[in-house]
Amino acid sequence: MTATATTLHRPDTSTGFFGAYGGQFVPDQLKPILDDLAATFDACKDDPSFIEEFTYYLTRYSGRATPLFLCSNLTARLGGARIYLKREDLNHLGAHKVNNTIGQILLAKRMGKKKVIAETGAGQHGVATAATAALMGMQCTIYMGAEDMERQKLNVFRMRMMGAEVVPAMSGQRTLKEAVDEALAAWVQDANETFYLLGSAVGPHPYPAIVRHFQSVIGREARAQILEAEGRLPDCCIACVGGGSNAIGLFAEFVPDTSVRLIGVEPAGRGLTYGDHAATLCLGEPGVLHGFYSYMLKDDKGEAAAVYSISAGLDYPGVGPEHSHLKDMNRAEYVSVTDVEAVDAFFTLSRAEGIIPALESSHALAHAMKMAPAMPKDAIIVVNLSGRGDKDVAQIEEMVSNGLVTPPAMVRGL
């Protein structure tokens, strides 16, 4: 463990900056509310009774620890580095998101809040929030763009089944950005009673530090599991990056181990031209979005750019501030993978191992598949399989039927 790496990657908890990035760029009325949350988090995170409760729900509700699985078939097929998957897809609700919603709902409980609000794009975070609110007997309101509600009808139905009220955001493009704006406005109105449950390692301080903390269980388990399986640390850890929560959760425990390459994979979508991707760290520049300073993709007016990815969980024009810092420090590398490459990985893992990955996670896997053949056979790659792909099967089936994607040769003929 090198002193520089540990001191540099820790957020300055008083101001919430990771190097130059992060902070609180919010209206004055939100500052005391965020400070209150930061104080609660500081008091809870090392409190044994809080840790015990968090661990209880991770274990008994979500089924942790998730396994670290060696993909023998895929490894043999690629003929290089051994590929391990951290199976976050085996969590309750099928992704890593529940690690964070359990942690934050327990903070809400400690703060005596009775209501939670959240915003959601594709609906995955809304579903995870609705589930944990039901679990804790709290009232739950989810803001979702009216357009997204139409596209993600089943997730809206899931949220409602679990007792959440789903409020359509009707302004602007009626997607995630408007849902964030309307959820924040509702929070400001009722902040004493209401807890804002944020879904990724983004937003104003203390959210990036909170989400990192709750998701770091991924890296803690993976580190112990690879040491047990291989007797040494991996050569690289790879994760997809939307807002950056599953990636920072895996990376957090490995940052001080400078022999381990940390690689974040962003969506290159249809290609790296404006509006066709969401490769924020690869192509963006620093700016303020949604209350924090970090890399972002801008349009020609300096506002948040239009973004696109085949996977709804990755199309965000910003990124968590700690990733911006890790990039500038050269501690982590950020690359991009196209829709076509991600879909190829989606099919390949399904066929090779009988595991259908989320399209988001398929981006990380696709990059591992590019790297592995050029690496020696005793090299080790850990890929964070952030979620399962059941939610994406209908979308892919339709694209195959319409001739928009072609399964790789190993899958054809089915």
Using CB atoms within 10 A of its CB, is residue 49 exposed (0-12), middle (13-18) or buried (19+)?
exposed
Stretch that binds ligand PLP, among 157-165, 176-184, 277-285, 354-362 (CB under 6 A): 354-362
Residues in contact with ligand PLP, shown as a per-residue x/- string from 366 to 395 under the rule CB under 6 A: --------------------xx--------
Q: Which is nearer to ligand PLP, 199 or 407 (CB)?
A: 199
Report the site for ligand PLP in 163-202 (rule: CB under 6 A).
Answer: 200
Give me the least distance between CB of 49 and ligand PLP, in Å please: 28
Q: Are strands 68-70 and 21-22 parallel, antiparallel or unpaired?
A: unpaired
The verdict on 332 binding ligand PLP (CB under 6 A) reads: no
Task: Report the run of H or E that residue 140 belongs to, with start and end.
Answer: strand 139-145
The verdict on 124 binding ligand PLP (CB under 6 A) reads: yes
Stretch that binds ligand PLP, among 22-30, 240-248, 326-334, 343-351 (CB under 6 A): 240-248
Which amino acid, one-letter code, is at 59? T
Strand partners, 12: 17
Stretch that binds ligand PLP, among 142-150, 171-179, 228-236, 355-363 (CB under 6 A): 355-363
Q: Which is nearer to ligand PLP, 131 or 241 (CB)?
A: 241
CA dihedral defined by 382, 253, 313, 408, rounded to 10 degrees? -10
Stretch that binds ligand PLP, among 23-31, 46-54, 146-154, 244-252 (CB under 6 A): 244-252
Q: Could you give the CA distance from residue 217 to residue 221 in angstroms, rounded to a whole number? A: 6
Q: Could you give the CA distance from residue 221 to residue 56 in angstroms, rounded to a whole number? A: 16
The catalytic site residues sit at 71, 96
| Interface residue with ligand PLP, options 37, 58, 81, 95 (CB under 6 A) | 95
| Interface residue with ligand PLP, options 23, 243, 269, 318 (CB under 6 A) | 243
In 3D space, the residue among 121, 114, 266, 281 whose CA is nearest the CA of residue 198 turns out to be 121
The verdict on 132 binding ligand PLP (CB under 6 A) reads: no
Q: Which is nearer to ligand PLP, 362 or 375 (CB)?
A: 362
Contact assessment for residue 142 and residue 159, using Cβ atoms and an 8 Å cutoff: yes
Give me the least distance between CB of 242 and ligand PLP, in Å please: 3
Q: Could you give the CA distance from residue 47 to residue 62 in angstroms, rounded to a whole number? A: 21
| Interface residue with ligand PLP, options 103, 203, 313, 317 (CB under 6 A) | 313
The verdict on 252 binding ligand PLP (CB under 6 A) reads: no
In 3D space, the residue among 251, 243, 312, 247 whose CA is nearest the CA of residue 280 turns out to be 243
| Interface residue with ligand PLP, options 11, 219, 244, 317 (CB under 6 A) | 244
Give me the least distance between CB of 129 and ligand PLP, in Å please: 12
Give me the least distance between CB of 409 and ligand PLP, in Å please: 27
Q: Could you give the CA distance from residue 302 to residue 180 in angstroms, rounded to a whole number? A: 19
Stretch that binds ligand PLP, among 188-196, 225-233, 238-246, 290-298 (CB under 6 A): 238-246
Q: Which is nearer to ligand PLP, 243 or 291 (CB)?
A: 243
Return the number of other C-beta atoms located less than 10 Å from residue 259's C-beta. 10
| Interface residue with ligand PLP, options 102, 159, 241, 260 (CB under 6 A) | 241
CA dihedral defined by 207, 210, 211, 212, rounded to 10 degrees? 120
**Token pair of 274 as six digits:** 């404006």
In 3D space, the residue among 93, 22, 350, 387 whose CA is nearest the CA of residue 240 turns out to be 387
Q: Which is nearer to ligand PLP, 16 or 203 (CB)?
A: 203
In 3D space, the residue among 4, 2, 21 whose CA is nearest the CA of residue 322 turns out to be 21
What are the residues binding ligand PLP (CB under 6 A)? 95, 97, 124, 200, 240-246, 313-314, 358, 360-361, 386-387
